Structure 1
Amino acid sequence: MDRTRVIDPRDLELEEWSQGSLYGGLDVRLGALLGLRNLGIAYSEVAPGKSGCPFHNHHVEDELFVILEGEGTYRIGHERIPVRAGHVLGAPAGGPDTAHQLINTGSVPLRYLSISTKAATEICEYPDSGKFLAKTIDPETGKYRFNQMVSEGDSIDYWHGEPGA
């Protein structure tokens, strides 16, 4: 399969999305376009006052953000750190102390790259809302085999649905 090896995100069609009053942006995933199988890369633009994702942490995947333009607040663990163009931010896999979120606190769009390891199986935790996301991705197709969000307290017995149990 022939893949492009050099991409300028400004030349790509960005997907616009929004959720409620805090979340929204323009995004494009670059990893597959570059032929990368084990590295996720996305280019994002987030409007002033918005965030591109809820406060969350990964239990398996490491993430890195490169701020290209604008300024914002990097919420990581219990800290809130001002960030601007040129800053590189790390979000290692771990527990709630590595939960992270970028919020555009500036007056122009916050533009950044998100780079992450890609695990076939991942657990994400959302400390603000008490949710967990469990997902498994087929490494050949890149499509979800399992993608389930659950809340703390919502549980089923280990043997639920097992034949003969």
Structure 2
Amino acid sequence: MIKRVIDTKVVNLDELKLEKFSAVGGKFEGESARIGQLLGAKELGYSYDVVQPGKVSCPFHSHAAEEEMFFIVKGTGTLRYGTETRKVRAGDVICCPVGGPDTAHQLVNDSNAELAYISVSTMMPAEVCEYPDSKKIGAYGGNSPSRLKHMTMANAAVDYWKDE
């Protein structure tokens, strides 16, 4: 059977091969599949994430360049956004625009069942993220395996003219 081009642009969530991840002693844990790469997306990144009860998939963070959207597919949890929180459930669509600490966001599975969601983001060639809980800043650039990735503490500022 010949695979049609249109068939390479569609995938069902049930057919995804999820990759498990865990960090910080299991505080951050989940399963994920990068759908955008799988389907050949060029300008948008999208993934499917499943988070077990009591877990969080990523640190509380904001973006300087990339906008994100989340669609809750299954379950319930809590959205942290800026200084506020609210319950979210299957069917909710969440907007996380570019900004500073006021747009920092995180999905927490504080329920007794799986929380599953689709993430969509603009794929910018350069990005800076702030992490208010840990007071870190991350700078990212390029799309190659050797892309720039640098994390530093927010209070570790260096003067622009230092060592010039």
TM-score by length of 2: 0.90
Find the aligned partners of 2:145 and 2:43 in 1 and give their Cα distance.
14
Q: What is the aligned-residue RMSD (CA, Å)?
A: 1.9
SS in 2 for 1:4: helix
Q: Quick one: which amino acid aligns to residue 55 of structure 2? A: K
Number of the residue aligned with 1:133: 138
SS in 1 for 2:113: coil
Match of 1:64 among 55, 69, 93: 69
- Greater CA deviation, 80-89 or 19-28? 19-28
Q: Quick one: which amino acid aligns to residue 16 of structure 1? A: K
Find the aligned partners of 1:129 and 1:99 in 2 and give their Cα distance.
12
Number of the residue aligned with 2:79: 74
Number of the residue aligned with 1:87: 92
Q: 1:90 to 1:144 in 2, by over 3 A?
A: farther
Find the aligned partners of 2:6 and 2:37 in 1 and give their Cα distance.
11
Shift of 1:30: 0.6
Matches within 5 A, 1:11-26: 11-19=15-23, 20-26=25-31
Match of 1:50 among 37, 51, 55: 55
Shift of 1:4: 1.4
CA shift digits 1:76-99 (9 cap, x unpaired): 001101000000011101010000
Whether the 8 Å contact between 1:45 and 1:111 is mirrored in structure 2 is: yes
CA shift digits 1:3-22 (9 cap, x unpaired): 81111122121110111242
Q: Percent identity?
A: 44
Find the aligned partners of 1:25 and 1:15 in 2 and give their Cα distance.
8
Greater per-residue helix proportion: 2
Shift of 1:160: 5.4
Find the aligned partners of 1:146 and 1:2 in 2 and give their Cα distance.
34
Q: Quick one: which amino acid aligns to residue 150 of structure 2? A: Q
SS in 2 for 1:147: strand
Number of the residue aligned with 1:153: 155
TM-score by length of 1: 0.89
Find the aligned partners of 1:152 and 1:144 in 2 and give their Cα distance.
24
SS in 1 for 2:17: coil
Whether the 8 Å contact between 1:27 and 1:42 is mirrored in structure 2 is: yes
Whether the 8 Å contact between 1:47 and 1:108 is mirrored in structure 2 is: yes
Number of the residue aligned with 2:102: 97
Number of the residue aligned with 2:12: 8
Number of residue pairs matched by the alignment: 159
Any gaps of 5 or more consecutive residues in structure 2? Answer: none
